[in-house]
Structure 1
Amino acid sequence: MNDILAGAWVYRSFLNVQDHLDPTQPLGERLLFGQGELVFDSVVGHDDVRGQLSFRSDPPTQQDARLEMVGRIEHGTPHRIRLRGTGVAGTSAEGWVYDYVGYLAPEWADGKDQVPAIVGTVIRSAAHGNAPAGVVASFVAVAQEFPEPRIVIPLPEPVIRMLAGEKHRLHHLLWHSLRQFWLSRDVSDETREHIRKLGWEPPRLGTESGKTAVDNGSGIDFLFMHREMISHVAHMMHGLGLDPIQHWSEPPQPGAVRAEPDFTRAHPELPVPGNPDGFVVPPAWHWPSSLNLERRIHALKSDEYYWSRMRWWDREFKNPERLSRLTLGQLGALLEFSIHNDMHMRWASVPRLAEGTKVPAGRGIGDIDSKWADPSNDYLGDFYSSHVNPVFWRLHGWVDDRIEDWFAAHEAAHPGEVQRTDVGGLPWFHGKNWVEHDQPWAKPQQGFDVDTMKQVVHLLFPPPLVDPVAAITLARPAVVSQQSATEFFFGRELETPLE
């Protein structure tokens, strides 16, 4: 239940002034008792609540008043939160004790742009300095939006412009789409022939008959294409005089939503409350068209899922004994349709348009309207946008590092059977028994022509027919542009032999 609290809130307390106030005086001076940052930790498995209320100066100092908040959330209508705030030793709040009772404000059925709020009262339970005990004030805490990684760990502006451009959005969308839906019954032979003539027929498929294609070498394409993307961005970073984006050594553990500044620095900065390192898991959201997908997203964002499944995958894909039995294509296929897909959705936030409007189901699979072109569209649950997100490069760095683990495992188990080579300027591998083919598919031979890619998108995901008679008489695919891209890519159940 405390997940409804986890994250950062703006805290304001107000004097309970009974008299009418002088309207010529600033309202803050007349009513405001205190204003600070309230951050609730995520606590698993019970209704305990922990967090911190801080009153920061600018720039922050070690003496800034901070209270450790401990309490419980009590079920009801509305929910009630009881907290005790105790001043942190070594800060200006040392010796402070305040008690809080707040109620989670109910939502209006017809409310517009509602923001979660806690409304309640606070009492000074222990005197400090010249401040007497027993003083009561009212408070309101307003939930802040989840701080997105693009704010906390932004990519350089030239890299963002490149990744958010039409060419890269269309390429990433088509590469994944065609590998998954080329032989779908919703795609006609005529459509496939049109796409074939445009040079976009995939040589191998990622899924076949509702199953992950483990043994056809398509996993090599997955690994190589993303290695090429990583190399391209690393080259841009080098050209800007910057270090490459650091890969995750493991999927980040469920972490703290608050952190203190590094006061050893000359100019300490406050880590962003609610997502201090950029890797806090964003909250789940209501899925309007698929209850099963909503439940799945809630589950894979949980701490339990991380410890019971994601950590198991991390160990398995680093296990030399296991890796030495896999071909390179098998490794790529198993990675793609297990931990890779789930990392995308675990770190995905609710999709939004550029002006901030939430679109819970995200982009329609064939909708490439300019409204989705803004760099802020970096939603990890859609291949049209996921590569714009800073987290994408961390998680795909983790995936890419598994290739080197695979090579090391084969060198130890059967030396010389897999050898290093070069494909298109990228370090790669060959080996008769362990590398299924030597022609990884990352893009068509003719390259990235934007107009051609748009044509392929419209062929693969056509808009719905307006004429109902034509819709009946013409053989049109059932896959239409309005259907959710997330449901297409991440909402289907595939048989993937992981055990």
Structure 2
Amino acid sequence: MWTLRFEGRDAGLSGAPLEGLEMFLDIAPRGRGLRGYIDTAERLRSDGLPRFRVIGDLQPANAARLYLRVMDGHAGNDPHSDNPDYEFSLTLDEVWGAFGNAGSGTLSGRIERLDRALALPELESRLIAIKQVFPEARERVGLSPPFLAWLVSREHRLFHQLWHASRDKWHKLPEDKRDALRGIGWQPGPREHERDARGPHKDRNGSGEDFFYMHRHMLIQARRIQDLPSWPRFPLPQPELERDRLGFARYFDNHDGCSLPPNWLAHGDEEYTQLVSDIKSHETFHTHFQVWESQYRDPRFLSKLTLGQFGSQVELELHDWLHMRWASVARDPANGQPVPMARRSDDFAERWFAPENDFLADPFSSHVNPVFWMFHGWIDDRIEDWFRAHERFHPGEVKRLEVNGVPWFAPGRWVNVSDPWLGPDTHGCSTVPGQAAGTTMEMDPEVMKLALRITFAADDKLSNLLRRVPRRPWYARNLLPDRWF
């Protein structure tokens, strides 16, 4: 969606207002053809046909240069004529073009009337098209002040990052680093029987149960502060402009906060750039997300899985992809500039604790994004589908049980773990009080920072290698294009 501004002695389009015009532009997935409309904002969002139609195509040699043909529906006497009346010769600004989603980009250039001979004096008619900024979910879905304060607290941000990091990295940590984490209560599960999330035993060690349990515990706490509905189904991709203009307008107005944020570019890591594009594509929605949406509600499929197997599969497949598909480009909260590779995992500068840091692809910030609660609600609802599947195929073999105030299940044939891991609250050993009332030393922000630095210390030994391998956001690090696409 673009706001148009006309300049020059001969500015504008014949008979159309000089102010208040907008342009909708659409490019088909994986395509090069451009289609669009121009009219007032009100007219573009009404049932009536817009006055101007736009066609064009991306130039393979220079995608920043556009030539658009514009048809005026009010020109001429032949209602079936579709001859172009104007040509827009436009250039995309360098900053927006460099990042792909840097905010409000511009297209600027000249307007030529196609019924004028080239030998005639050139018209003084210029156009600046200003891209409307995609509305973030936080602008459409309000979070109450008490809920937001809880989410952005240092304790909550660090806890969520560390809970995921400890489980994700454990199988790769040397024994001295594991002992260091055990010493401050941040080993993932019982001492000497830890449950890593990505090692060779991930689907048999109960880590999938920890994943389901911790997020259910989180949801229960959050819903005590604010009503947080689950997605009933995955939001559909963007509708095609020429088939559903009103749906296209609603989608890019992001009226419910669930529209897909635009792709972004990460220079120096073309594989990651392509990965983001692939995960956000229409094709991937149909080949992956809709398949998961069906499988994870299929009693026959679910009845064959233990709770741990199901949780591990959801976490390592659907969950990581949800975080990436609905992520906007990361931005520096201090100035709003795009940070395509996101915050460093061990960067705890004060600016990253600001409410504006709700980047969905980093566990330090993802839970601040309203979309997080929508899709984690959907995931939590699938636990009940799993229970109903076993009630149908294996009646009485799964027993309900409340565990630490969370509605859960008793250990048995299909449930392996009797003590799901919430962090030091369930598996810590410190009796030293923390700085915050009612907490232990293990939950202090500085202790959690120390635990995170220990977790990432193994990366420091590979610093020379890491200089050559681009750094990626947390949830993108385990996605392998050759495996999925």
> 1:440: how far off?
0.8
Q: Which residue of 2 aligns with 1:330?
A: 309
- The answer to whether the 8 Å contact 1:378/1:386 transfers is yes
State the distance in 1 between where 2:97 and 2:275 align: 28
> 1:111: how far off?
10
77-86 or 305-314, larger mean C-alpha shift = 77-86
1:165 aligned onto 2:153: yes
> 1:257: how far off?
8.9
Q: Which residue of 2 aligns with 1:426?
A: 406
Q: Which residue of 1 aligns with 2:272?
A: 293
1:244-283 matches, within 5 Å, as 244-256=227-239, 273-283=252-262
- The answer to whether the 8 Å contact 1:70/1:85 transfers is no
Of 79, 82, 92, which aligns to 2:69? 82
The verdict on how the C-alpha distance between 1:14 and 1:496 changes in structure 2, with shifts beyond 3 A counting, is closer
> 1:406: how far off?
0.5
Gaps of 5+ in 1: 1-7, 19-31, 88-96, 126-134, 238-243, 263-269, 466-475
Q: Which residue of 1 aligns with 2:80?
A: none
> 1:48: how far off?
3.9
State the distance in 1 between where 2:151 and 2:129 align: 37
Of 179, 188, 203, which aligns to 1:214? 203
Q: Which residue of 1 aligns with 2:144?
A: 156
Q: Which residue of 2 aligns with 1:305?
A: 284
Residues 143-194 of structure 1: CA deviation (Å, up to 9, x unaligned): 233221111223223212211111111011000000011231xx34333222
1:45-444 matches, within 5 Å, as 45-56=30-41, 66-67=50-51, 69-75=53-59, 77=62, 78-84=65-71, 86=73, 99-108=85-94, 115-121=105-111, 138-184=126-172, 187-203=173-189, 204-209=194-199, 211=200, 213-237=202-226, 244-256=227-239, 273-354=252-333, 355-444=335-424
Residues 468-487 of structure 1: CA deviation (Å, up to 9, x unaligned): xxxxxxxx575999997745
State the distance in 2 between where 1:109 and 1:360 align: 13
Residues 369-419 of structure 1: CA deviation (Å, up to 9, x unaligned): 112111111111111111111111111111111101101111111111112
- The answer to whether the 8 Å contact 1:10/1:38 transfers is yes
Residues 393-448 of structure 1: CA deviation (Å, up to 9, x unaligned): 11111111110110111111111111212112121122511011121112212553
Q: What SS does the aligned partner of 2:225 have?
A: helix
The verdict on how the C-alpha distance between 1:65 and 1:295 changes in structure 2, with shifts beyond 3 A counting, is closer
The verdict on how the C-alpha distance between 1:174 and 1:56 changes in structure 2, with shifts beyond 3 A counting, is same
Q: Which residue of 1 aligns with 2:2?
A: 9
The verdict on how the C-alpha distance between 1:139 and 1:489 changes in structure 2, with shifts beyond 3 A counting, is closer
- The answer to whether the 8 Å contact 1:74/1:81 transfers is no
State the distance in 1 between where 2:36 and 2:202 align: 46
> 1:9: how far off?
1.4
Gaps of 5+ in 2: 12-16, 75-82, 116-122, 429-438
Q: Which residue of 1 aligns with 2:445?
A: 450
1:43 aligned onto 2:28: yes
> 1:124: how far off?
11
Residues 83-119 of structure 1: CA deviation (Å, up to 9, x unaligned): 33658xxxxxxxxx99542234155599998934143
Residues 49-94 of structure 1: CA deviation (Å, up to 9, x unaligned): 344434247xx9969995463523252642322233658xxxxxxx
111-120 or 443-452, larger mean C-alpha shift = 111-120
State the distance in 1 between where 2:47 and 2:300 align: 53
> 1:136: how far off?
9.6
Residues 333-384 of structure 1: CA deviation (Å, up to 9, x unaligned): 0000111111110111111011211111111111111121111111111111
Residues 281-335 of structure 1: CA deviation (Å, up to 9, x unaligned): 2222222343322221111111111111111111111111000000001110000
Q: Which residue of 2 aligns with 1:128?
A: none
State the distance in 2 between where 1:54 and 1:418 align: 60
State the distance in 2 between where 1:479 and 1:156 align: 45
Residues 11-61 of structure 1: CA deviation (Å, up to 9, x unaligned): 12345349xxxxxxxxxxxxx82233323345335444344434247xx99
The verdict on how the C-alpha distance between 1:487 and 1:56 changes in structure 2, with shifts beyond 3 A counting, is closer
What percent identity do the matched residue pairs reach? 31
State the distance in 1 between where 2:245 and 2:345 align: 42
Aligned residues: 436
Q: What SS does the aligned partner of 2:69 have?
A: strand
The verdict on how the C-alpha distance between 1:123 and 1:160 changes in structure 2, with shifts beyond 3 A counting, is farther
The verdict on how the C-alpha distance between 1:406 and 1:479 changes in structure 2, with shifts beyond 3 A counting, is farther
170-179 or 283-292, larger mean C-alpha shift = 283-292
- Counterpart AA for 1:390: P
- The answer to whether the 8 Å contact 1:68/1:86 transfers is yes
- The answer to whether the 8 Å contact 2:165/2:452 transfers is no
- The answer to whether the 8 Å contact 1:341/1:490 transfers is yes
The verdict on how the C-alpha distance between 1:344 and 1:257 changes in structure 2, with shifts beyond 3 A counting, is farther
Q: Which residue of 2 aligns with 1:129?
A: none
The verdict on how the C-alpha distance between 1:292 and 1:45 changes in structure 2, with shifts beyond 3 A counting, is closer
Residues 215-234 of structure 1: CA deviation (Å, up to 9, x unaligned): 11100000111111111111
- The answer to whether the 8 Å contact 1:102/1:120 transfers is yes
The verdict on how the C-alpha distance between 1:47 and 1:109 changes in structure 2, with shifts beyond 3 A counting, is closer
State the distance in 2 between where 1:103 and 1:318 align: 51
In terms of fraction of residues, the more helix-rich structure is: 2
> 1:206: how far off?
3.9
State the distance in 2 between where 1:248 and 1:385 align: 20
Q: What SS does the aligned partner of 1:79 have?
A: strand
- The answer to whether the 8 Å contact 2:400/2:408 transfers is yes
Q: Alignment RMSD, CA only?
A: 4.0
- The answer to whether the 8 Å contact 1:462/1:479 transfers is no
Q: What SS does the aligned partner of 1:236 have?
A: coil
